[in-house]
Amino acid sequence: MAALVLMCGLALAGCSDTDKDTYKDQPVEVLYNAAVDQMADEHWAAAGKLFDEVERQHPYSVWATKAQLMQAYVQYQGDKYDDAITAADRFIQLHPGHRDVSYAYYIKAISYYEQIVDVQRDQHDTELALKALDDVITRFPDSRYARDARLKMDLTRDHLAGKEMEIGRYYERQGQYVAAINRFRKVIGDFQTTSHVPEALARLAECYTAVGLNEEARQTAAVLGYNYPDNQWYQDTYELVGGRRIVAEDSKPGWFSRTFSSIF
């Protein structure tokens, strides 16, 4: 029993020494460089712990501020998107005027973007991604991050439009034409630059025809024909409204917006 107690005591002493070695104070450059080395090897969790140590041991140093931002980066790289967002938000709150705060906004935006799910599921994260990407573009329009954010924003808007189209198609199949009309109009009104607009116009014309609003169907087909004359959706709508080719009379710039507003 005495020997067992002695062994346990030695084991505990060993653990204590190990902990001290792991968390003992070190020069800030040593800690930061060790974190960078872990990043180079893609050991994201280990890098995150070392950046935490930089801030814990040297909270008032310039390196601590850098470590806070790098914490957001390593969490993103490690697919810990919620943790990356939290770290980015913390940096933004603590250092709103920092020269690298644009990068914190960008990390936050792409962390939401990476969590976008297929259109059959809830799109809450997609909406958050859209807002975060817009923040990057609005706050830092001339930054390199804004260029990438604009591309991702277009894809995000297309994704949200796809969700509206899916719901609209479902309502149309169920014969709930008013609900379907509202969804297709939302795509046309809120997502005019996406790839879903031609189909939305065509299906809107179908719904108008189904409820007997033939003039509204004809005018919708006119918008479709003017803006997408070679699109297959217009060819189908051309047959739907009686086989008459519909051409917009007013061909001045901005006709789409003016005509859409007058119809809808």
Top pLDDT among 261 and 70 is at 70
Is 212:247 a contact under the CB 8 Å cutoff? no
CA distances from 62 to 27, 49, 68, 98 (A): 13, 18, 10, 12
Torsion sign across C-alpha atoms 99, 103, 106, 112: negative
d(CA 60, CA 37): 23
Query: Contact 47/55 with Cβ under 8 angstroms?
Result: no
Confidence of residue 252 (pLDDT cuts 50, 70, 90): very low
Most distant CA atoms of the chain, gap in Å: 102
Quote the pLDDT of residue 159.
86
Nearest CA among 65, 47, 56 for reference residue 26? 56
- The string of pLDDT tens digits covering residues 156-195 is 888 889 889 999 999 999 999 999 999 999 999 988 888 8
Q: pLDDT grade, residue 256 (50/70/90)?
A: very low
Tell me how far apart the alpha carbons of residues 65 and 78 are, in angstroms, rounded to a whole number: 20
Instruction: pLDDT band for 53, please (50, 70, 90 cuts).
Output: very high
